[in-house]
Chain A
Amino acid sequence: MLRPFAIHQPMTVSEATSLMRDYGDAAAFYAGGTELLIVLKEHLAVVDHLIDLKRIPGLDEISLQDDGASLKIGALATHRAIERSVLVQRRLPVLAALEAKVANVRVRAAGTLGGNLCFADPHSDPATLLSALGATLTLDNGTAQRNVRADAFTTDLMTTDREPDEVLTHITVPLPGANVGTGYERIKLHERPTVSAAAVITVADNLIAAARLYLGCIGDAPQRLRDVEDVLVGLPALVTSGERVKPLIASLALTYDTPFESARYKRQLASAVGVRAIAAAVANAVHPQGSRHAV
């Protein structure tokens, strides 16, 4: 049985942030509830006021920015809405494919991208890919907006840069150029991914000209492997090139022992998944149509 609480259904972001300032620690923003309701059921948090953001018009919109170079995804867009968006399927298929495999269909029907990012569970898919793609998160406290890079948003275990009275309103994702490939790969043993990796690879003259590689799930936040990226640049743009950095990924991955997974095991998985993500990104850059987006 949930403890009693009041529901507030603001119609604007400023109304929502004002309610949050009024109730302070006794309140929580509420979107899909896929994480929050479980926390409340377990009595891990006491919340007297739920501020439901779902009635605010426009927060769930998915659109192409005017310049055509980036996608704007409302934070209240559900995983299902993103998975089934023709715009996302056409312009950023790697994200549509990722979203299609988040948890299960019921979680995807209720859960939102913004809620997922703000809860910041490390065992989650979107943050790692959005970090690699160089996405930007926009936060609004009712009077001012500010932007945070996706890879700077999670600051600690399940902790983000968001101030309590800020609403994450949307995520802006720059669309990869014609010679840029993306890959997202993961290993999932239970409901949530165990290890994940996202790669964004730029190819020029049959060589890897630029690379971004992030590992997810194994630490407190998605982690960038710059030293691996440096080694990748200049290698031939072949799907096998990632094999060269496999040991380096394993040695650089920051992780720790947990009761069910040793650090050594996770480093080993991370290197395998990292190599797969690089291979998928290279294939996607070289043959965008024939790319695979296996997750």
Chain B
Amino acid sequence: MPSETMMRLRTTINGEDIELDIEPRELLIDVLRHRLELTGAKRSCDSQVCGACTVLLDGQPVSSCCTLAYEADGRTVLTVEGLAQDGHLDLIQAAFVEQAAIQCGFCTPGFVLTTKAMLAENPRPTRDEIKHYLGGNLCRCTGYWNILDAAEDAARRLAAAAETGS
């Protein structure tokens, strides 16, 4: 058995600088959920298939269930809790609500964050590009059509916001 030395984790989570002592084996999802009470990321398949645990690490979608927490050192993490500002949903969340793209809601944080990463890379995706990018997120309620509609709606809202400069 190795002598497991604790590691100092310095990271920025939802805009807030965090310092924590962690064990090397700790997974990002457990640090988020159990230490920081950020329960938006859900543990489900535990093997990078379903996307319910998706968070953005330096803007890239990753499975927090399969990411060692120390990997976030010196980087920025965005969870679904970091999207709303001053009590207002961000435009992707608003699109998901408007399009009724939520049934039980378990997969929603993962879909919303993956949509955010997609729109940062490709602000005007086609329906096929949306299907490809979101293809690794599963909705057990099978509400996919509304989710695709919501991603399209979010892209429209983003374009409108860019036009008005808001």
Q: Which of A's residues lie within 8 Å of B, judged by CB? A: 1-7, 26, 33-34, 37-38, 41, 48-50, 80, 100, 103-107, 109-110, 191
Contact = CB atoms under 8 A, between A and B. Distances in A.
Interface stretch (B12-20, B41-49, B100-108): B41-49
A186 to B, nearest CB: 15
Nearest to A36: B66
B6 to A, nearest CB: 11
Given A34-B66, A110-B66, 14 more contacts: A4-B4, A4-B23, A6-B24, A34-B48, A41-B46, A50-B24, A80-B60, A103-B48, A104-B137, A106-B48, A106-B61, A106-B136, A107-B136, A110-B62
Nearest to B68: A33
A19 to B, nearest CB: 13
B24 A103 contact: no
B109 interface: no
Contact of B2 (A5, A37, A38, A104): A5
B46 to A, nearest CB: 7
B135 interface: yes
Name, among B54, B62, B117, B137, the residue most crowded by chain A CB atoms within 10 Å (CB to CB).
Answer: B62
Report the contact-size class of chain B (Cβ under 8 Å from the partner): 20 to 34
Nearest to B121: A84
24 contacts: A2-B27, A6-B2, A6-B4, A7-B68, A26-B2, A33-B67, A34-B48, A37-B68, A38-B48, A41-B46, A48-B1, A49-B2, A100-B132, A103-B48, A103-B136, A104-B135, A105-B114, A105-B136, A106-B48, A106-B61, A109-B57, A109-B62, A110-B66, A191-B49
Contacts of A6: 2-5, 24
A123 to B, nearest CB: 14
Interface string B110-151: 000010010000000000000011011100000000000000
B128 to A, nearest CB: 13
A106 B24 contact: no
Given A103-B136, A105-B133, A4 B2 contact: yes
B61 A109 contact: yes
A179 B119 CA distance: 38
Nearest to A101: B132
Contact of A104 (B1, B3, B48, B57): B48
Given A2-B27, A33-B67, A34-B66, A105 B117 contact: yes
B66 A5 contact: no
B63 interface: yes
Contacts of B1: 4, 48
A105 B117 CA distance: 10
A106 B136 CA distance: 8
Nearest to B5: A6
B40 interface: no
